[in-house]
Amino acid sequence: MRNSWWIRSDRCVLGAAPESLRIVPARLRIEGPTIAEVMPEGPDPGPFEGTDLGSRLVSPAFINAHTHLSMNAFRGLGGVASFAENVVEELYYRIETSITAEDVAAFTRMGAIESLLSGVGLVWDHYYYGRTVADTLAEMGLAAVVAPTLQDLAGPGCGQLEAQIEATLSIDDDPALRDSGVVAALGPHATDTASEALMLRAAQIASSRQLPLHAHVAQSHREYARSIERHGVSPVEGLSRSGLLASVPRMLLVHSIFVSREDLGRLDPQRHALAFCPYSQVQFCFPANVAAWERAGLPWIAATDCAASNDSMNVQKELRWIGGLRGVATSQSPAYAQFHDGGDAAVAEEQRHRDFETYQRFCDPAFLLSRVWSVPGRLHPKMPAGQLAEGHLANLIAWDTDHPSFWPAEDPLRALALNDTTAAIDAMVVAGRWVGEQGRFHSSVVESSVYREVVGEASARLSEARKRWEGSGGPHAG
């Protein structure tokens, strides 16, 4: 176990978003990968021995609770046309059949660095070669919940099924990974690529080991239609009828675009959470109805998905999208269509006011931050995160609030939720370890010899991989 050490600031963001956030002077004792003690300071705190961050704002690091880091290598492939139908099956699967474990490691390193530079200290990664992903993230100093992709009906992972189940167990059993902030989840890919038998097998392992299930559910019309054809019910109803929904300790259902009101009623807010990836969903399909999720009382998180379908790994941008829903809803409403066709503008304005009320909570900074702090931080029974609190993962960021992207910082929580403040990161701690150098966080990372080696290897492997893809009639850059 690593020795414990102390850190303090005049402005620490304590409490759980969105209920009880407050900014107060505090001292934190870090022991290994976790926060062992939190001591708010009184008017006369006494002497301090440790790292004093002065007036820097200290917050939890962001959590990106659904991504595929190595798929940043696919960024731009296929162009806009590739998203017209099912980009996962028609483009990504063809590439992934020739991807090697060494490719995944190299591309994951690049995704890890991009995540850290975006203020993300914990990712939920779902991909092939899961043990390779876990070891790579531990090496790069990025905390993670790794779900090795499990497929038996379709997809590039069908031939890796038993190896990926074994990888899941080995990650869960490895104390060195846990000490690096890397733990396991069960990762059946989707309801049309993982059979009911595999889903139930994954659920049984999840239950016996107290691990979450991380799966794509109803992410496309094709997946929904296959469920109707094979089982006569929707993907969510199929999971409910099989008993899976009632048996898992936690489950993250990703995208859930084709989920009805009736399906939402089948979900348990104590067990199930939904993942909203707006900038990705707007490219590969259309955004899910998170207002319906909220009305159903279900927890949900904001995430980026992969850079291949998003172009960015910055979760702050996802929060800004969510905050803007109150305006977007009106432009797509029948009331606005009526005005557009020659009707009364007052009708559209009345709709705007109704939408403003409906989505008002979505603009609250504490609510938005809870989607990338406390809500995803509660999903893994073995690794609480997303708060500066005892027993939680020691992931934190010190912000320079005099930076132009933050200034004048009269409302720091609003800035964290709606500004683009990643350039204002002064220092970062992940799983109890410093990342980069305090005061020159970004430059210390991208100017390091480590980064030069990482980008060199990733670029070389991408060049070779492109030759394999193109030689087999695969995609070209768009």
Residue 283 to residue 82: CA distance in whole angstroms: 10
Q: Is 409 in contact with 50 (CB distance < 8 Å)?
A: no
Look at residue 478 in the predicted model and tell me its pLDDT.
38
- Domain ranges in the chain are 4-61+384-439, 62-325+365-375, 326-358
Size of the chain, expressed as the number of residues it contains? 478
Tokens matching residue 120: 């993300």
Q: Is 451 in contact with 445 (CB distance < 8 Å)?
A: yes
336 three-state secondary structure:
helix
Residue 244 to residue 213: CA distance in whole angstroms: 10
Return the exposure string of 44-66: e unless at least 16 CB atoms fall within 10 Å of the residue's CB, then b: eeeeeeebebeebbbbbbbbbbb
Look at residue 81 in the predicted model and tell me its pLDDT.
67
Tokens 């939920």 label which residue? 124
**What tens digit of pLDDT does each residue of 345-396 get?**
999 999 999 988 888 889 999 999 999 999 999 999 999 999 999 999 999 9
Residue 476's pLDDT band, with cuts at 50, 70 and 90, is very low
Is the pLDDT assigned to residue 469 strictly greater than 90?
Answer: no
Q: Per-residue pLDDT averaged across 307-333, rounded?
A: 91
Residue 473's pLDDT band, with cuts at 50, 70 and 90, is low
Q: What is the CATH number of domain 4-61+384-439?
A: 2.30.40.10
What is the value of pTM for the model shown? 0.95
Q: Is 144 in contact with 125 (CB distance < 8 Å)?
A: yes
In single-letter form, the type of residue at position 201 comes to R
DSSP tag of 81: G
Q: Which CATH architecture has domain 62-325+365-375?
A: Alpha-Beta Barrel (3.20)
Number of H helices, E strands in the chain: 22, 17
Phi, psi of 146 (to 5 degrees): -100, 125
Residue 351 to residue 329: CA distance in whole angstroms: 9
User: At 172, which helix (H) or strand (E)?
Assistant: helix 161-173
* 458 alpha carbon, distance to own chain's centre: 22
**What tens digit of pLDDT does each residue of 97-137 get?**
889 999 999 999 999 999 999 999 999 999 999 999 999 99
**What tens digit of pLDDT does each residue of 166-201 get?**
999 999 999 999 999 999 999 999 999 999 999 999
Residue 457 to residue 452: CA distance in whole angstroms: 9
Residue 368 to residue 413: CA distance in whole angstroms: 10
User: Cis bond leading into 18, ω under 30°?
Assistant: yes
- Widest CA span of the chain, in angstroms? 71
**What tens digit of pLDDT does each residue of 269-306 get?**
999 999 999 999 998 889 999 999 999 999 999 999 99
Look at residue 477 in the predicted model and tell me its pLDDT.
41
What is the chain's mean pLDDT, rounded? 94
